């Protein structure tokens, strides 16, 4: 968690706008902060230039800088403001997250699983041995999820990536 992060006010604004477009929650509850962490991680993975570094933590990808941004934004009344005007790239990120998650966009447990699988899932071809290693690793560090749930999350992400992959 000691990687350097460059989080400018522009980046902070982008991540807050995207999170407001996806969720309207208070950061007073742990499950809501978990949800916002996972949504921000997925937003970064889908191309949101937010300058945040995420490392592996107990509940999956986590950014200490994002936690500070969220508390500061909440203090300034910038969270739960409803959808703001998004840039084209922010709109694409929000739509991609909705395409991946569907009705689970506000489900902290599913967000934890999907973001954790995404963290370990390589781009490109997924060989059977690598897939088995991912399932084994996640079963060890996330015993609340079954092998079947992890496998389903892998399939869900792979289907999403195939749909979103630009044609050659």
Express each pLDDT in 46-78 by its tens digit.
Answer: 999 888 999 999 999 999 999 999 999 898 888
pLDDT at 8 over 70: no
- Using alpha carbons only, how large is the chain's radius of gyration in Å? 16
Beta strands in 13-150 (DSSP E): 55-57, 60-62
Amino acid 6: pLDDT = 44
- The DSSP code for 10 is H
Q: What is the pLDDT of residue 24?
A: 82
CB 83 within 8 A of CB 21: yes
List the structure tokens of 126.
């997924």
With contact defined as beta carbons under 8 Å apart, do 73 and 13 qualify? no
Handedness of CA 73, 60, 99, 145 (dihedral sign): negative
Torsion of CA 98, 100, 106, 109, to 10 degrees: -170
């Amino acid at each position: 968690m000691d990687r350097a992060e460059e989080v400018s006010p522009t980046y902070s604004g982008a991540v807050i706008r995207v999170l407001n477009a996806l969720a309207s929650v208070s950061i007073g509850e742990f499950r809501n902060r978990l949800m916002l962490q996972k949504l921000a991680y997925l937003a970064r993975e889908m191309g949101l230039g937010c300058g945040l570094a995420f490392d592996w933590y107990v509940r999956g990808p986590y950014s200490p800088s994002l936690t500070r941004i969220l508390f500061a934004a909440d203090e300034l009344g910038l969270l739960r403001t409803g959808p703001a005007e998004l840039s084209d790239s922010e709109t694409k990120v929000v739509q991609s997250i909705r395409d991946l998650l569907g009705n689970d966009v506000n489900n902290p447990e599913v967000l934890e699983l999907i973001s954790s699988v995404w963290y370990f899932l390589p781009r490109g071809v997924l060989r059977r041995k690598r897939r088995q290693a991912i399932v084994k690793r996640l079963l060890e560090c996330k015993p609340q999820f079954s092998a079947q749930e992890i496998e389903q999350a892998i399939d869900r992400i792979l289907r999403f990536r195939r749909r979103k992959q630009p044609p050659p």
